[in-house]
Structure 1
Amino acid sequence: MTEEPRKAVRASDADREAVARQLAAAAGEGRISTGELRTRLAQVYESHTYGDLERLVEDLPEIGLSRARTVPEHTIPETLHLTAALHDVHRRGRWAVPPRIRASAGRGSVHLDFTEAVIEHDEVVVDARPNWRNVEIIVPEGYRVSTEEAVPGAGDVHDLTSAEPRRDAPRIHIVSRPGLGEIVVRHPRPGRRWSVRTLAARRRARRTDR
């Protein structure tokens, strides 16, 4: 098949997932920024043909879908480092999740939304570090959540999940170091979304009423 007709061939879900893994690996190596990864992943899942996908990885070492399709699972970085030094950092929508995430909240908060995330392992370890601000983790109903190793500091650890966990669901294992900020784990809610700031405001209101 010549190059041009090949680019017009319709891509499969497996093709899109392979390119998503390649982009995640590139971000883990520092080849593309967090913002670029988020933008390209959004485009990956809107792509229809090989040509659409190849354009998203043509500036990376493994160029083109033909090679991206053979990228093994272990090319997803073992640890994703997210640092909100000055501004909030978000991971949401469709994104490839590595086995371990280190989320460090500086002057900004870190928000991890697993609602539409692609998780291919039984357990994801979230090393939450609410140094100054907060780490918020959103999980779908049915996910298993473990906060036993999340050590509270000046701020608290809030596990607001309530749904009965499914045996076949991924386990989000949260570990932490004490900090000034808080860790909040919750389910996505329709309509109004309660943020960490909202929880803090409610807490302050209760203290005032006492």
Structure 2
Amino acid sequence: MTQPAENPPSDPSLTLRIGHADRDEVIEVLRDAAAEGRLTTEELTERIEATTKARFFAELDEIVADLPTPPPSDKIRPRPAQALMRPNVHTEPGQHPLDPLVLRASWENAKRTGRWSPPPFIRLEPVAATAEANFLEAVTDLEVIDVEVTAGAGTAAVVIPEDWGVNIDRLSSSWGAVKSRVPAVPAQGRPLIRVHGSVGMASFVARHAGYFERKRLEK
């Protein structure tokens, strides 16, 4: 495995401890890499074991250093430094996986609903409330919309029309709950919401319109 360059003592990746959610995210990356043929079965097993034993972000960075994924320590570094790492900088969030449209629900709900044009990359951050991407009135010609869920203690929700689909195969859970009440495969020509990440202690639900939502749409 490629050895990382020496970091200065002030580097937070050397001193800030990681949690279960951080380990889960790296394990998901490793499994995806193995599925794509980037890692052998032996390498996957070795790196998952190293991930479970890791204590600091620098250790996670080393584990995925030779894979096409941002270093886990990016999340604890200042945003300007992260922006310099992006291959392209867009004026609107959501056009690049390193710059998704973020719905962060700290103590109040964060919802995107009504008539809107969703970008291809969205991140739901249910810290302690509900982060919801509601596509019932969305207007898009995208075939796939990537939705990342970060670990929290609230609720992450995806609401879709009857003919859309939601795939949650790459969404992991530590202590939370993951539920999908919708098809995993969309109708022909309709969008697929591809969900990945880790819910931590939060909950995730994918659903169709509820009673009141249907009534509002009928008006």
Tell me the equivalent position of 2:181: 160
The structural deviation recorded for 1:190 is 2.7
Give the match's secondary structure for 1:175. Answer: strand
Question: Is 1:170 the equivalent of 2:191?
Answer: yes
Alpha-carbon deviations, 1:32-87, whole Å to 9, x = none?
A: xxxxxxxxxxxxxxxxxxxxxxxxxxxxxxxxxxxxxxxxxx76531201211221
Decide whether aligned partners of structure 1 residues 127 and 156 sit closer, same or farther in structure 2, where only a CA change above 3 A counts.
Answer: same
Q: In structure 2, give the amino acid aligned to 1:128.
A: V
Q: In structure 1, give the amino acid aligned to 2:128.
A: R
**Number of equivalent positions:** 120
Decide whether aligned partners of structure 1 residues 127 and 163 sit closer, same or farther in structure 2, where only a CA change above 3 A counts.
Answer: closer
* Contact 2:149/2:199, CA 8 A, preserved across alignment: no
Tell me the equivalent position of 1:150: 171
The structural deviation recorded for 1:115 is 0.3
TM-score, normalised relative to structure 1? 0.52
Decide whether aligned partners of structure 1 residues 183 and 111 sit closer, same or farther in structure 2, where only a CA change above 3 A counts.
Answer: same
Question: Is 1:125 the equivalent of 2:138?
Answer: no
* Structure-2 separation of matches of 1:177 and 1:163: 18
Question: Is 1:183 the equivalent of 2:204?
Answer: yes
The structural deviation recorded for 1:164 is 7.1
> Aligned-pair RMSD on alpha carbons?
2.1
The structural deviation recorded for 1:162 is 4.5
* Contact 1:103/1:110, CA 8 A, preserved across alignment: yes
Decide whether aligned partners of structure 1 residues 81 and 191 sit closer, same or farther in structure 2, where only a CA change above 3 A counts.
Answer: closer
Tell me the equivalent position of 2:82: none
Alpha-carbon deviations, 1:77-102, whole Å to 9, x = none?
A: 31201211221111100112111101
Question: Is 1:94 the equivalent of 2:94?
Answer: no
Question: Is 1:112 the equivalent of 2:133?
Answer: yes
Tell me the equivalent position of 1:140: 161
Give the match's secondary structure for 1:154. Answer: coil
Decide whether aligned partners of structure 1 residues 192 and 168 sit closer, same or farther in structure 2, where only a CA change above 3 A counts.
Answer: closer
State the identity %: 28
Q: In structure 1, give the amino acid aligned to 2:186.
A: P
Structure 1 runs not aligned, ≥5 long? 1-73, 194-210
* Contact 1:112/1:137, CA 8 A, preserved across alignment: yes
TM-score, normalised relative to structure 2? 0.50
Matches within 5 A, 1:1-210: 76-77=92-93, 78=95, 79-162=100-183, 165-191=186-212
Decide whether aligned partners of structure 1 residues 179 and 165 sit closer, same or farther in structure 2, where only a CA change above 3 A counts.
Answer: same
